[in-house]
Structure formats: C-alpha cells, structure tokens
C-alpha cells in the first residue's frame, strides 16, 4: 500500500523573497493558485540559497572538454532499458519525482558530470550537486531496480530544506535549482544551467492617466499559469492558460498604485512580455487556490496539454518582446509531467518522463518504474469528479530545435 504524503502550502520564509507593493513591480514566487479566482502576482524571482566557501572546493582550472565525466558516471538518460527507481524513505515521493526529471534530462546530466569535486569529506556531504552526482552513479552502476536517496536527503536537511515531511513540488524544484546554481563553482557550467532552465521576461507597469511606464527585465524558473480567469471561470486548454498569464492586468480600486508624475494613486496596467525561452521549459499549473474562507483547495478540473507546443502561435504580438529568430525557435515537445494525486491535506507525487534516447514514456512512482503509453500520460489531464486520481502539476517541455 503506497504511503500517502501530505501536500503543504509553500513556506517561502527560507527563500529570501521580497514582497513589494505597487508601484514597484512585484517579483515573487506564486502561491499555488488564485485568491478568489483572481491571479496573484505573476512573477517569480530566482532567489539565493546557501553556498559553500570557495576554499572548500578543488577546482580544475585546466580546460575540460564537453565529454569529460567522472569515472563510470554517464547518466540515467544515456542508458537504454535501464530505468532505476528511488525508494520512498519517508514522504520523499516529491523529491524522487523531481530527481528523476533532472536525471532523465541528457542536457542536465551533461552539466552535472562536469562539476568540480569538493576536497574534504564534510564539504562533500554538504554539496548538493556532488550528492546528486553520487546518487546518479549509484543508480547507474548498481543492479538494483531502485536505490535510496538517503545521503542526498540528509544533505538537503543541512541546507534547511525540510525533508521527510509534506512538500510542494513547485517550491522544491526552485529550492533544488537554487542550491545547484549556488554550489556549482564553474561559471561556465552555471551559465549552461541557467540557459537550460531560465525564462527571460520583461515586466511593464504603466499609469493609465499620464501613460508613464516602468520597465524591467526579469528571470523566472517556471511559468506559473492560472487555471481560472479573472472572472473565476475555468480555462479549457493549456494554451488559454498561457494567454491568460500574459494578458495585461488592470490595477484599479484598492490595487491602484502611486504615480510619481501624477502625485497620487492612479489606475495602472501591469503586464509581462516574453523575451526568451530556455531549452527546458517548466510550466507550473496552479491547481491549488484560496476559497472565500481562505481555505486552500485543489482544482481537479480537466486541463488538456499538447505533446507539441508552439509559443509563437499561442501568444499575440503584444505578449512578447523578442526578435524573429528567437520567436522562430519557440517550438517545444513534452518531456515530463510531475503529477499529484489526492488533496491539499493528503497526497502523492509521481512522474511521467519521455526517454530522450528511446522516445518512450515511463512512469516513475518511487521504486516502481514501468513503461507507459501516451494515454496513461493523458490520464493526468484531470477531472472535476476526481477524489484521488492524478492531475498534472508541473509540465516540462523540451525545445525541438535548440539554437
């Protein structure tokens, strides 16, 4: 009988986030939904996390080829017919699902196997990229059908990441990415990691009286798209959710901002324009929202998502700020789905991932890994009558023709 893990609201206190009021453009992590059907702030700031001191690492300052790798370590995604599970060691289904998504991404494992190795034992135990590399090697070298992520989980505990408790996949994904970026010492690899996952947007805040405008470039790790529109009606497709996310928002009434040019609070229009999409695009479906009584509930309603996604066909000219050659490369293919089953108080995570070497879909449910069909992946679309069934929560798309 599978242990049912509880799902919690993201605890943002350890992520050093700053919440600002208008007229400053807000850059926050999205809570998992809308309050009263309306969108909350749309932006996400990639936040700092703890890092090791430079002297704790043994840097390889000589040139490294792209094919360099530690002995015997190449990566789960490079192997055919060799999918390995991860044991649930106490409410770690969320961590296990995200790790499998990382490890099945050939572009990520190519970065991971080039990291510099810390010198001392203590630093090795506290280094997240290194512990992920060791786990990857353990998955690849052993003959077991599943291995334990215990050492990595203990390493994450040392960085104040709550383990063995209820988790939210979107928050944990951000936390893991921040730790990876901060603890990889090679600037070239940090740049490659950012190119692989980071979304670039341009934020706009315009006064509706004097037309003065504030513009700022920003980065996001995920696109947190709503499932409800501004009138609290269910959106019917992923494309509609994306259009809703990039649709300008009117700030009126209690949401008016102070305009320095007008010298008073005035109505503003807030919008986000897409500038650049990464090789691996992560979309966060905001299935968790606040009801009128401030009680968080889950939206199980059906939301189809396509295998192929062309952003240039989804967005209007007013919703992007990009060159034509950038826009021409906005064609994606679905790579992975992290699905949640259950409710806000009790649930479980698993991952559906398409092997980049075999082009076959696999289900990663903790220690159980098995090949599945596209119809099995489509079962995560959701349904309003679901009590326990799986619904997609994070979607990972891979660029078809990387530049």
| CATH code at position 211 | 3.90.70.10
Decide: residue 234, CB within 10 A, 0-12 exposed, 13-18 middle, 19+ buried.
Answer: middle
Supply the range of the domain harboring residue 378: 13-46+82-399
Q: Return the pLDDT at 325.
A: 86
The answer to whether the beta carbons of residues 238 and 305 sit under 8 Å apart is yes
H or E element in which residue 393 lies: strand 390-399
Spatial separation of the C-alpha atoms in residues 384 and 146, rounded to whole Å: 34
Considering 8, 93, 254, 383, which one is annotated as catalytic?
A: 93
Residue 205 lies in a domain: yes
348 catalytic per annotation: yes
Q: How many domains does the chain divide into?
A: 1
Q: Point out the catalytic residue in the list 159, 257, 348, 350.
A: 348
65 located within any domain:
no
- Decide if 62 is inside a domain: no
Could you tell me which residues come within 8 angstroms of residue 328 by beta carbon, excluding any fewer than 6 positions away? Answer: 312
**What pLDDT shows up at residue 402?**
57
390-399 and 85-86: which strand pairing? unpaired
In a domain, 40, yes or no: yes
Considering just the CA atoms, what is the radius of gyration of the chain in Å? Answer: 21
Active-site residue flag, 159: no
Note the pLDDT tens digit of each residue in 75-122: 444 444 468 999 999 999 999 999 999 999 999 999 999 999 998 889
The answer to whether the CB of 216 falls within 8 A of the CB of 273 is no
For residue 77, is it within any domain?
no
Do residues 290 and 36 make contact, with C-beta atoms less than 8 angstroms apart?
Answer: yes
CA distance 294 to 288: 12
> What 3-state class would DSSP assign to 137?
helix
List, in sequence order, the alpha helices (H) in 236-390: 238-245, 311-314, 324-327, 374-378
Does residue 329 fall inside a structural domain?
yes
Distance, in Å, from the CA atom of 119 to the CA atom of 386, rounded to the nearest integer, reads 51
What's the rounded Cα separation, in Å, for the pair 82 and 92? 22
* 73 domain residue, yes or no: no
Give the chain's residues under pLDDT 70: 1-82, 290-294, 402-403
């Amino acid at each position: 009988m599978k242990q049912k893990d509880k799902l919690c609201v993201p605890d943002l206190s350890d992520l050093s986030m700053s919440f600002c009021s208008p007229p400053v453009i807000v850059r926050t992590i999205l809570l998992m939904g809308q309050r009263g059907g309306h969108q909350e702030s749309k932006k996400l700031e990639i936040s700092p996390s703890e890092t090791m001191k430079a002297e704790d690492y043994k840097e390889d300052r000589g040139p490294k080829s792209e094919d360099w790798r530690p002995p015997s370590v190449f990566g789960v995604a490079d192997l055919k017919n060799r999918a390995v599970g991860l044991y649930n060691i106490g409410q770690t289904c969320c961590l296990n699902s995200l790790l499998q998504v990382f490890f099945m991404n050939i572009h990520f494992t190519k970065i991971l196997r080039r990291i510099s190795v810390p010198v001392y034992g203590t630093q090795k135990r506290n280094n997240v990229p290194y512990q992920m590399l060791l786990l990857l090697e353990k998955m690849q070298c052993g003959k077991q059908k599943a291995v334990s992520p215990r050492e990595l989980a203990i390493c994450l505990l040392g960085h104040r990441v709550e383990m063995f408790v209820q988790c939210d996949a979107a928050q944990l994904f951000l936390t893991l990415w921040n730790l990876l970026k901060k603890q990889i010492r090679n600037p070239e690899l940090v740049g490659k990691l950012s190119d692989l996952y980071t979304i670039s947007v341009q934020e706009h805040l315009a006064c509706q009286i004097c037309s003065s405008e504030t513009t700022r470039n920003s980065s996001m790790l995920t696109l947190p798209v709503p499932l409800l529109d501004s009138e609290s009606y269910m959106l019917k497709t992923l494309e509609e959710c994306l259009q809703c996310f990039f649709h300008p928002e009117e700030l009126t009434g209690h949401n008016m901002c102070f305009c320095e040019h007008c010298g008073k609070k005035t109505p503003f229009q807030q919008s986000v324009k897409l500038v650049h999409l990464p090789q691996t695009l992560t979309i966060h479906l905001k299935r968790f929202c606040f009801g009128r009584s401030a009680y968080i509930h889950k939206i199980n309603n059906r939301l189809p998502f396509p295998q192929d996604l062309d952003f240039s066909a989804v967005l209007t000219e007013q919703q992007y700020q990009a060159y034509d050659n950038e826009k021409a490369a906005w064609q994606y293919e679905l790579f992975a789905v992290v699905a949640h089953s259950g409710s806000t108080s009790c649930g479980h995570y698993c991952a559906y991932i398409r092997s980049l070497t075999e082009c076959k879909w696999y289900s990663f449910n903790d220690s159980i890994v098995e090949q599945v069909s596209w119809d099995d992946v489509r079962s995560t679309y959701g349904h309003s009558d679901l009590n326990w069934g799986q619904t997609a929560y994070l979607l990972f798309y891979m660029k078809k023709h990387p530049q």
